[in-house]
Structure 1
């Protein structure tokens, strides 16, 4: 049997990274992600483990080397261990380089061992502040102690962790030094992410937005930042912090567009393929399920031919423009 051709989009970019959302549900209500009273998709619209894995398998056959499981919050899905077990086989056979999970950390203490046992070696944990009251306000009710306990459990289980911090204006300026010391003191990298105009959350996007190019210059007045060749397979560019020896990443969809090197696509828990996070368009892969591998492969390749060159997010005088109606929880960022 001849090998399956690599997955390539219409601009010649090879696609090697799949972000697979297993649920849009979350146990938090972060102000930059969703409104306080979020309407989630009906359970009947969420694919089962078999269908999610079939879709992922088609991508793996086409050369995907990295799969990240996202949400919503992926650890709230009760049958997640069954899906992890499937991917463990791909890792063992050398068909995947890595399986990674993004989580808010609230259930990490209970599931860290399960992740490690399935071959997960690295997780990203969302953490925007080390102040319990501020954390509760940002997440609309979350408990910081649960996340910190989950991080401790994950580190003890042998997982590598990168903390993801949304650069919220009025929050990150007062928290960044403590977050750097906390992360680097435990051997974790830290990445700052600009807020993006995804869905109506009931909070001003422009009020939250802090351009990271300017914020980096502020950091350089008190921290020694040296460009690092480190890469994690995504859009983050890293520097090494001289005073701590740790890595600090910058993810800048608005202040410094990174689309030219895009190597990823996203699939929602309902089976819709999104070739760009910053566009409304998607392709429903469900009709190809059960028809045969060739139909699924053709649907994927057809969608990739229309993958946009770049997202449409931009900063305007009246707010963050180019926004879309879909909430971040649908695809996990």
Structure 2
């Protein structure tokens, strides 16, 4: 069983050595992909015929928990669970409950990114386990367009899941990838809907990760122009709000809604990066746009939990100054792995 009321001292005792990379950035944020699988096939994220990792290659939920707890002991204060779609992994609720037990005891916040398809069934348990906020991926409010982008998704199912999350007391932020010629005409309407519903909205530029069936150049929409269009329709005021992620925020005056812009291509955000990512294979990637990684699952299996600190230190020391995302004709993906492997 994963549940544990009193973790061994080696996991729970704080370390006097924090996680500071070679560029002076303190690492306080761990993103964890609990599975590379998903029940949707969004066109900008995955190929239609995906080959997923064999289950034998995955880290167990117990191993993920042990690694995450070592990061908490080293000063990480925020963890986000993601995928793929994290709620497709069986018994993921046990991992959520175990990590949720650290909220207020080293961990400031435990969050999850989800596509919303399974929230009706899972939202109450997520709230009870210690999650207070969800990021829900939603790229269109038009049913036919939503189905086209996701290849087979049901918009009403996702909207019902968002309602379930709100009923459970969970905060919801909507994540939408801005896609040229696909959803750019409704981004203003999505922000208006978020204002009406009381959600925050983050818009994201498409990222060149993994091979897909379409050319990302055709869909790349710079957020600089999107912001200008939105600012002409909404009273946007710069907001100092930070969630630990890369978004820059504005508030829609007269509402509780914040608009976040995540611009990896037009506005590099690497100078303040405080994040590392643990894959479902138990590999730690120090940057979304680089292939350098340290196999923490291998260290844990071969040498035990006490060896994790040295491996984590090795990884943090190798964190690069910046990614090198480029998008253009003839440019392939920045890395071959898909976003679902590394975690969003």
**Is TM > 0.5 for Structure 1 vs Structure 2?**
yes
Name the SS for the 1:14 alignment partner. Answer: coil
Structure-1 residue corresponding to 2:84:
72
The count of aligned residue pairs is 331
Q: 1:319, 1:215 → 2: CA distance?
A: 25
Give, in angstroms, the shift of residue 2 of structure 1: 8.0
- C-alpha contact 1:267 1:274 (8 A) present in aligned 2: yes
TM-score norm. by structure 1 comes to 0.96
Give, in angstroms, the shift of residue 322 of structure 1: 6.2
Q: Deviations over 1:9-56 (max 9, x none)?
A: 111100000001100000000001010010000011111111010110
Give, in angstroms, the shift of residue 314 of structure 1: 2.2
Q: Of residues 115, 134, 155 in structure 1, which corresponds to 2:145?
A: 134
Give, in angstroms, the shift of residue 173 of structure 1: 2.1
Structure-1 residue corresponding to 2:57:
45
Q: Residues 1-333 of structure 1: matches in 2 within 5 Å?
A: 3-92=15-104, 94-242=105-253, 244-290=255-301, 291-316=303-328, 318=329, 323-333=334-344
Q: Structure 2 unaligned segments of length 5 or more: list them.
A: 1-12
- C-alpha contact 1:312 1:322 (8 A) present in aligned 2: no
- C-alpha contact 2:82 2:113 (8 A) present in aligned 1: yes
Give, in angstroms, the shift of residue 244 of structure 1: 4.5
Name the SS for the 2:93 alignment partner. Answer: helix
- C-alpha contact 1:224 1:242 (8 A) present in aligned 2: yes
Q: Deviations over 1:113-154 (max 9, x none)?
A: 010010100000000000000000000101111100000010
Give, in angstroms, the shift of residue 242 of structure 1: 2.8
Q: 1:18, 1:238 → 2: CA distance?
A: 21
163-172 vs 34-43, which moves further: 163-172
Give, in angstroms, the shift of residue 332 of structure 1: 2.5
Q: Deviations over 1:59-87 (max 9, x none)?
A: 11110000000100001111101111211
Q: 1:178, 1:222 → 2: CA distance?
A: 10
Structure 1 pair 222/181, CA: closer, same or farther in 2 (3 Å)?
closer
- C-alpha contact 2:247 2:262 (8 A) present in aligned 1: yes
TM-score norm. by structure 2 comes to 0.93
Q: Structure 1 unaligned segments of length 5 or more: list them.
A: none
Name the SS for the 1:289 alignment partner. Answer: helix
- C-alpha contact 2:211 2:333 (8 A) present in aligned 1: no
Q: 2:14, 2:275 → 1: CA distance?
A: 25
Q: 1:70, 1:243 → 2: CA distance?
A: 32
Name the SS for the 2:232 alignment partner. Answer: coil
Name the SS for the 1:47 alignment partner. Answer: coil
- C-alpha contact 1:24 1:269 (8 A) present in aligned 2: yes
- C-alpha contact 1:194 1:253 (8 A) present in aligned 2: yes
Give, in angstroms, the shift of residue 254 of structure 1: 0.3
Q: 1:13, 1:260 → 2: CA distance?
A: 8
Structure-1 residue corresponding to 2:10:
none
